[in-house]
Structure 1
Amino acid sequence: MKEQRSTKKEFSELIDKYQAIIHKVTRVYTNGPADRDDLFQEICLQLWRSYPGFREEAKFSTWMYRVALNTAISTIRKTKNDLHFEQLHDHDCVETEPSDEKEQVHLLYRAISRLNRIDKAIILLWLEEKSYDEIASILGISKTNVSVKLVRIKRKLEEMIFNQ
């Protein structure tokens, strides 16, 4: 019983420390607050279920990204037919030349949300300054594939943001 309490406490502390990772993943893979909350809970559940198998071969944050991204992607696959998208109105659009950093970040995340599931994961990890090796390890693809995809993703984002 003592070991389980210790594990729960340790897990809880790690979630508190790295919860920003989960928030970033949920922001990129969902459309609204309710969906973000649901995905956040699902990711935490999957992290808890997977935690006993965490072998510390990678950093906790790297392992957490892998579980969070896999959970987000598989959740989207499961609910693919249930997805609904809201109609964008003129007042929802952001100017192409944002006046401050917060607007620029909002514009970037809006463009990222339009990417496919894997491209979202790659750019999110790159923005987190993960190395190509770490990104490859988290996503289970080659380092070369990461490099090629990042060039294409950056080009695509640039087109989305500046050619509206």
Structure 2
Amino acid sequence: MESLQQFIEPILEPIAAWFRGLGIPEPIVHWGHPLMMGIVVLVMGSFVGLTGWRGRVVEDKDAALHSRKAHRKLAPWMFLFIALGYTGGVLSLVMQHQPIFQSWHFWTGSLAVALLGLNGAISLFGFRSKQGLQLRPVHGYLGSIALCLLFLHGLLGLKLGLSL
């Protein structure tokens, strides 16, 4: 891990130094990422998860269709904001001269982005594999696991933020 850190930090440090040079107040550097990502995960994540499951289980066909459409519209935006927030969180650590890879918060965020990316790929490339495997249930459960992981990620982030 040490060699990976030595490879990544020199790449990110000039970007972090540029942001440091903007004179952004320390509380914003420290708590901006958690505040913004908390909103994305709690509001968008909850809505995307709810509409996804509602589109599957509600008996009213019109309501189910409405939920699936809402899920399809907002889920890509949520993934984009999560991916950008992930980048911002890593950059925030570098700006604060903190090690990137020594935190469970980093690893749960990395796993969550990977799971959401895989889930997006499942939805983009179809719910049925060439072997006939139904991926639609996998999509729902994988998305739910990713959201639960993001809630754990938030708790670990709060612990990290309070320790810095």
Pair in the same fold by TM > 0.5: no
Higher RCO (CA < 8 A, seq sep 6+): 2
Please report the TM-score for the alignment, with normalisation by the length of structure 1. Answer: 0.31
Bigger helix share: 2
Structure showing greater radius of gyration is 2
Q: TM-score, normalised by structure 2?
A: 0.31
